Amino acid sequence: MRLGHIGLGTGRPRIAAAAAAAGVVVVGVVVAPTATAAPVLVLPAAQSDPADFAPADTAAIRPGVVTETVGGGACTTNFVFTAGGRTFIGQAAHCAGTGEATETNGCDSGTGPLGTEVAIQAADGTQRTGTLAYSSWVAMQENGETDLDVCQFNDFALVEIAPEDVADVNPTVPFFGGPTGVDSDGVPAGEQVYSYGNSPLRLGISELSPKVGVSAGDVGGGFGHEVYTLTPGVPGDSGSAYLDADGEAIGLLSTLNLAPLPLSNGLSDLAMALAYANANGGLGEIELVPGTEAFTASPAATLPTPAGPPIGG
């Protein structure tokens, strides 16, 4: 395990207590906010054809809906993916974890198998049933992975959406729009990031879901990133999407960090996680589906951005 890091699935043992001890389950934690507004940027390129999907504002299955994995916990979904004519929604691999919340090394942590049932709490109030189709933890354990950075930071899974539910899918990230593509050049310290979490701990208050943050730099050889947002990701936010200022998908929420950067969050890099999945997942070429709505940072002008700790030192 990484000392001072905990996974963020609500159903995993001790996670709520561990986060409470860290003082982060109380909504409204402030981390040195600044008055700097997010820049306005709209990128119409790399959008999906809306005609291929349910409308973004009424789609039942979309990024940000909550999943509950049998034997694991409740998590927030990130992006929509396709491979071999099948449709998937992303979550963190540790959402299917069966061990302690502090077990964040995917090469030796307990996990449910592929084929595990996953309940999708759809945005229309219905519950759909998906299936765990890929897990980086399962893949790494089957491969005998020994690279410590990969073991620690590769935390990505895909839930296959049932064919009868695909017509109810839209790939757009709520509030911000996008994604416009996959970021492949890292997240330098100081770069602004955008996220949408949907933890049940927020009691359905949607105004608390969108967040603007700042990167504290790359870790794990670029397989992970550390970020600060005004309120950190809490249990149930695991897997939630992170975008950069171009609307590109950076990664997904993996851990709450208690040290060395208290109350920061750890992300798994999506480009690297996808490359590993494409090489080891057995699903064929997995592709991110761009949002049908253009990414814009302009709504974030109403959201304060944390200054975070001194970065780069």
CATH number at residue 164: 2.40.10.120
pLDDT category, 232, cuts 50, 70, 90? confident
pLDDT at residue number 206: 66
Burial tier of 39 (Cβ tally within 10 Å: 0-12, 13-18, 19+): exposed
Residue written as token pair 């929509």: 80
pLDDT at residue number 13: 33
pLDDT at residue number 199: 79
Q: Put residue 241 in one of left, alpha, beta given phi > 0 → left and psi -120 to 50 → alpha.
A: beta
Q: Is residue 152 part of a domain?
A: yes
Half-sphere exposure of 161 (CA within 13 A, CB side): 30
State yes or no: pLDDT of 121 exceeds 70.
yes
CA angle 148, 150, 152 (to 5 degrees): 65
The pLDDT tens digits of the residues spanning 142-166 come to 999 999 999 999 999 999 999 999 9
Q: Is residue 34 part of a domain?
A: yes
Q: Is residue 222 part of a domain?
A: yes
Quick one: the chain helix, strand, coil %, rounded to 5?
A: 20, 30, 50
pLDDT category, 306, cuts 50, 70, 90? low
pLDDT at residue number 236: 86
Within 10 Å of residue 69's Cβ, how many Cβ atoms? 29
- Residue range 279-300: mean pLDDT, rounded: 91
pLDDT category, 209, cuts 50, 70, 90? confident
State yes or no: pLDDT of 220 exceeds 90.
yes
Mean pLDDT score across all residues of the chain:
83
Q: Is residue 313 part of a domain?
A: no
State yes or no: pLDDT of 10 exceeds 60.
no
**Percentage above 70 pLDDT, the chain:** 77
Task: Name the domain count of the chain.
Answer: 1
Which range marks the domain in which residue 113 is found? 5-306
What residue ranges in 21-62 does DSSP mark as E strands?
33-34, 42-43
State yes or no: pLDDT of 256 exceeds 90.
no
Q: Is residue 245 part of a domain?
A: yes
**CB burial string 261-278: b at 16+ within 10 A, e below:** bebbbbbbbbbbbbebbb
DSSP tag of 53: S
The pLDDT tens digits of the residues spanning 233-243 come to 778 899 999 99
The pLDDT tens digits of the residues spanning 24-52 come to 322 223 333 332 333 333 344 578 988 89
pLDDT category, 257, cuts 50, 70, 90? confident
Q: Is residue 311 part of a domain?
A: no
- Contacts of 251 by beta carbon, 8 Å cutoff, 6+ apart: 187, 224, 225, 242, 267, 268, 269, 270, 273
- Residue range 169-182: mean pLDDT, rounded: 97
pLDDT at residue number 43: 40
Q: Is residue 312 part of a domain?
A: no
pLDDT at residue number 101: 79
pLDDT at residue number 202: 64
Locate 165 and state its tokens.
Answer: 């539910």
- Residue range 262-268: mean pLDDT, rounded: 89
Q: Is residue 256 part of a domain?
A: yes
pLDDT at residue number 233: 78
